[in-house]
Structure 1
Amino acid sequence: MRKKVTVVGAGNVGANCALRLVEKELADVVLVDVIEGVPQGKGLDLYQSGPVQGYDCTITGSNDYEPTANSDLAILTAGFPRKPGMSRDDLLVANYEVVRTATTQIVKYSPNCILIVVTNPLDAMAQAAYWVSKFSKNRVIGMAGVLDSARFRTFIAAELKVSVENVVGVVMGGHGDTMVPLVRLSNVSGIPLAELMSQATIDAIVDRTRNGGAEIVKYLKTGSAYYAPSAAAVEMAESVLKDKKKVMPCAAYLEGEYGIKGLFVGVPCKLGARGIEQIYQVKLTAEEQAMLNKSAAAVQELVDVLNKKQ
């Protein structure tokens, strides 16, 4: 029996998630959006690509959640995009309502699913989905670290002119300006970055990684990134659906790990059929811990605002 995945939001991120899911033949997909006709039209278009691309998965579009019933996994991408000059924080209040409404419907029709949150500001929206769903903490996962690490790895590989497949890039913390690229743990086929490039070059790459999303927003002007975010979300979904047990950085609900309690923060996690099956506690230096604490504090500020809306 094939798996079933709900993708909430038929915009650029959601539509590309649906495309990647079926091209990998991971699941049948239900694409949901509030705009009449958009999920139906995009769903049908993607469905008709099957004979050409060679996938047998079905894609259906809907404006309500009834067709999503009994999904194994839901990817929540719906929300307002970031515009030039807009921080992820500015999105908070508007997207909270979107996430609250969507999560309520997901839970109603698929009470046993795993939930991957992509909507920004990521860490706070994962927190909102966790509150609303009342799911166990392992079943609500924020997509951030996989994307941030991909950007880090891309820039390292481009600088050194090596395959991205040989680059390990570790990024922790919140999804935003305070993210923590861990240079000490990043390498190329085991060779530390410090042996391959100057500190100034490393610092420039770290800075570009932190501002990776904003750089794309500046170019697009009327939207934000979607190819890499959808690829990251689907890599996480694949590890869950196939029970692959991949270890990747995800926004997870921490209860004392790294000295952080009651917050979604990006940390290395094992993803399998039960969602987050293990959180790995890496020994950090004092400087790294301080950066992670600063990042967690930035997330806490957003969560405090959401708390007042509860």
Structure 2
Amino acid sequence: MVDTLTKSRKVVIIGTGLVGSSYAYALLNQGVANELVLIDVNREKAEGEARDLNHGMPFASPMKIRAGGYEECSNADLVVITAGANQKPGETRLDLVSKNAKIFKGIVTSVMEVGFKGIFLVATNPVDILSHVTLEVSGLPKERVIGSGTILDTARFRYLLSEHFEIDSRNVHAYIIGEHGDSELPVWSHVQIGGIPLSKYAKIDDVENNPEMTKIFENVRDAAYHIIERKGATYYGIGLGLMRLTKAILHNENSIVTVSTLLEGQYGLDNVYLGVPAIVNEYGIRQVVELELNETEKQKLHNSAGILKEMTDAALKALK
């Protein structure tokens, strides 16, 4: 996409499971793409999803939707990977490393073999590690390999804060950063409601240690576990999150979103993918937004990065 901007707004989704199909449905509803291709190891499943989506076309914006093979990636603006083993009840995202790293090597190699020049968007867990695997296998610049990161965690955070304070979630500004998983952290020092710092708005002196705020964060961090226990998987929220990222890329929005990207010195960290606010446009990651963190937040972010770095090194070593 950097070399030749097609402007075709062609999106290829690899993996038509619950996340991939929810994302495709969101794209159709929002009319974000012009062309959508579904790829799955089960070709009939992809064809069934494409037919089902096409039958809703009279109620949506015009879009070409079909099932296809990896050759469709050659002129795609965006390839979104949602394929891989699912997280089972009681299993952490990091437990999925060895299973999905091997799957990803095959997928990314197949995409690059057809001359793909666009942007990779990774959603499969553990997303930070698999984004790094995608970077290494593809050989693309870091700006063009993006993970969904903490975009969903941030949305959950904003939603739960909005529920607590009875404020429209669109007027709550907050970030979850770090791993998309158990070591993630809330940036309490930058939470604002209508532009007012949370401590001032809520009249809370010590936000980080306030029991109600702590409970809100715990519900954010453990949300996936709670949902998986009840319905087996999470997919609507991340489907909409992927749609939001797709819109930022295809519409060249220069939007600030919390995505997984490679850090090279920002926040005092190097050679690790994790979720941070970044400016996203048609070229991918334009710039990492480096927040001014307090000492507690810095320590927690570095701890999260350490966990991810260790697991990423193990995943990359296993692929060689």
Name the TM-score, length of structure 2 as normaliser: 0.92
Query: Which residue in the other structure is 2:70 paired with?
Result: 65
Residue 111, structure 1, aligned to residue 116, structure 2: yes
What percentage of aligned pairs have identical amino acids?
A: 29
Residue 167, structure 1, aligned to residue 199, structure 2: no
Contact 1:70/1:109, CA 8 A, preserved across alignment: no
Write the distance in 1 (CA, Å) between the matches of 2:62 and 2:197: 43
Query: Which residue in the other structure is 2:218 paired with?
Result: 207
Q: Which string of whole-angstrom CA distances, capped at 9 and with x for unpartnered residues, describes residues 256-292 of structure 1?
A: 1111111101111000011000111112111110000
Query: Which residue in the other structure is 1:31 paired with?
Result: 38
Contact 2:248/2:255, CA 8 A, preserved across alignment: yes
Amino acid at match of 1:276: I
Query: Which residue in the other structure is 1:40 paired with?
Result: 47
Aligned-residue CA RMSD in angstroms?
Answer: 1.3
Question: Where does structure 1 lack aligned partners over 5 or more consecutive residues?
Answer: none
- Cα offset for 1:298? 1.2
Residue 269, structure 1, aligned to residue 278, structure 2: yes
Q: Which string of whole-angstrom CA distances, capped at 9 and with x for unpartnered residues, describes residues 23-65 of structure 1?
A: 22222100111013000011111011101x2321011113x31
Q: Which string of whole-angstrom CA distances, capped at 9 and with x for unpartnered residues, describes residues 217-246 of structure 1?
A: 1112xx321000111111111101000000
- Cα offset for 1:110? 4.9
Counterpart secondary structure, 2:83: coil
Out of 61, 83, 86, the position equivalent to 1:55 is: 61
Query: Which residue in the other structure is 1:128 paired with?
Result: 133
Counterpart secondary structure, 1:135: coil
Q: Which string of whole-angstrom CA distances, capped at 9 and with x for unpartnered residues, describes residues 198-225 of structure 1?
A: 51111111111111211111112xx321
Cα distance, 1:90–1:197 mapped onto 2, change above 3 Å: farther
Write the distance in 2 (CA, Å) between the matches of 1:299 and 1:88: 11
Write the distance in 2 (CA, Å) between the matches of 1:109 and 1:22: 26
- Cα offset for 1:197? 6.8
How many matched pairs? 306
- Cα offset for 1:118? 0.3
Contact 2:190/2:197, CA 8 A, preserved across alignment: yes
Contact 1:72/1:110, CA 8 A, preserved across alignment: no
Amino acid at match of 2:273: F
Counterpart secondary structure, 1:81: coil
Contact 1:117/1:143, CA 8 A, preserved across alignment: yes
Q: Which string of whole-angstrom CA distances, capped at 9 and with x for unpartnered residues, describes residues 76-110 of structure 1?
A: 10011111111111111111122111111222235
Query: Which residue in the other structure is 1:142 paired with?
Result: 147
Displacement over 3 Å in runs of 4+: none
* Structure-to-structure mapping, 1:208-287, within 5 angstroms: 208-220=219-231, 223-287=232-296
Residue 153, structure 1, aligned to residue 153, structure 2: no
Contact 1:104/1:133, CA 8 A, preserved across alignment: yes
* Structure-to-structure mapping, 1:61-100, within 5 angstroms: 61-62=67-68, 64-100=69-105
Contact 1:71/1:110, CA 8 A, preserved across alignment: no
